[in-house]
Amino acid sequence: MDLYRRSIQVILENQAHSGAYVASPNFPSYTYCWLRDGSFIAHAMDRVGEHSSARAFFRWVDRTVRRYAWKVKKVLGKLEKGQSLDDSDYLHTRYTMEGKEAEGEWWNFQLDGYGTWLWALAEHVILTDDLAFLEEVGESVQTTMRYLAAVWELPNYDCWEEHPEYIHPYTLAALYAGLRAVETLAGRAGNAAAVRVDSRIADEILPFVLEHGVRDGRLVKHIVPPQRAEGTEGPLASAVDASLIGVATPYRVLHPDDPLMQATIAQIEAHLRRPGGGVYRYLGDTYYGGGEWVLLAAWLGWYYAEVGEEERARELLNWVEAQADDEGHLPEQVSTHLLATDRYAEWEARWGPVAKPLLWSHAMYLILHRALEPAGR
């Protein structure tokens, strides 16, 4: 089976008429669209030349953000008055295929997806050489930027939808990349003034990460909010997390060759990479027993492709390909070598088998494939 072609097919088959990508069609809790997953999926579609698919997603985000722009106005108003925000105030992290807020309890205050959609949108504009599209979605872009400028320093859930008590270097990297990318494009379009305030926020994020998100010469999983009392850091905060790959690849807060990034990757290899296998999210992961994540293996391979370590990148590509089932479906994670074997059953009883296919896994595979084959097919 040609997994490259099959992955494109899986993604296109699971894109709604609205433009939204379902996270996983066969996993009830994932039958929604996350901006995080969707933005990487759209970027993969751009990488393989399916620009119309990516554009349909960005237009879906545009409509969704404009639908809930009133919430951003409410957030800004409350903050100006010194009022506290509650969970109902924030923009959600997942939406229905129609762009409506999903019902039920969820860990909604997550920011990285909003930064990632700005970054992926900017990449789309560059790849299609269509600055006019930035103007088309300009209202939602400005709404997103105002929102992020107002709340970026607040503790929120990380990209794994955990630990709302912390601030997260990965999340900040996504915001930095999105804000900076849109600022650059707007400058090319002669509209730099529209993002002047938000560009200053991007200027604040990098020194914040370097001051608070580094320990022993490497990046850490979480940042304790500076205003919190000393001594409140849990053991996970200073740990390494595989999502930190994103600080360099693709967000470029640090260059992939930066010694700080190299030290972080070395920690990921030492503690989260199973020899000859995949990549764990972090030590202590108990979600479905803490398996090896397919998308993280592809992500690490993407990093290695960028720094010219092709052999390592291809080893990870081969491992990802080996995880596809007979239908060419890639799962969220592989349960052969779990970190917490005693925790798998409770999740299976709660939500069913591991999500498969996971469109984000297919997307990261495509991105890695293209990174290794820049001339394409």
- Residue 15: count of CB within 10 angstroms of its CB: 24
Does residue 357 have a cis bond before it (omega within 30 degrees)? yes
Q: How far is C-alpha 12 from the geometric centre of its chain's CA atoms?
A: 20
Structure tokens, 271: 């503690």
If phi > 0 it is left, if psi is from -120 to 50 it is alpha, else beta; for residue 368 that is alpha
Structure tokens, 313: 């990148």
- Catalytic, 342? Answer no
Task: Tell me the CB-side half-sphere exposure of residue 333, using CA atoms within 13 A.
Answer: 22
Amino acid at 98: E
- What is the spatial distance between Cα 74 and Cα 93, in angstroms, rounded to a whole number? 17
Q: How far is C-alpha 120 from the geometric centre of its chain's CA atoms?
A: 10
Packed helices 169-188 and 196-212: angle between N→C axes, nearest 10 degrees: 150
Catalytic residue selected from 37, 62, 101, 158? 158
Catalytic residue selected from 112, 183, 198, 332? 332
Whether 170 and 243 have beta carbons less than 8 Å apart is answered as yes
- Rounded to 10 degrees, the C-alpha dihedral 210/212/216/217 comes to -10
Helix (H) or strand (E) holding 5: helix 3-13
Find the farthest-apart pair of alpha carbons in the chain and give their distance in angstroms, rounded: 59
- Rounded to 10 degrees, the C-alpha dihedral 293/297/303/308 comes to 180
Whether 269 and 332 have beta carbons less than 8 Å apart is answered as no
Radius of gyration of the chain, Cα coordinates, nearest whole angstrom: 19
Whether 148 and 201 have beta carbons less than 8 Å apart is answered as yes
- Catalytic, 332? Answer yes
Catalytic residue selected from 98, 161, 165, 233? 161
Look at residues 74, 60, 49, 48 and name the one whose alpha carbon lies nearest to residue 22: 60
- In sequence order, what are the residues at sequence separation of 6 or more whose Cβ sits closer than 8 angstroms to the Cβ of residue 341? 289
- Catalytic, 198? Answer no
- Catalytic residue numbers read 158, 161, 332
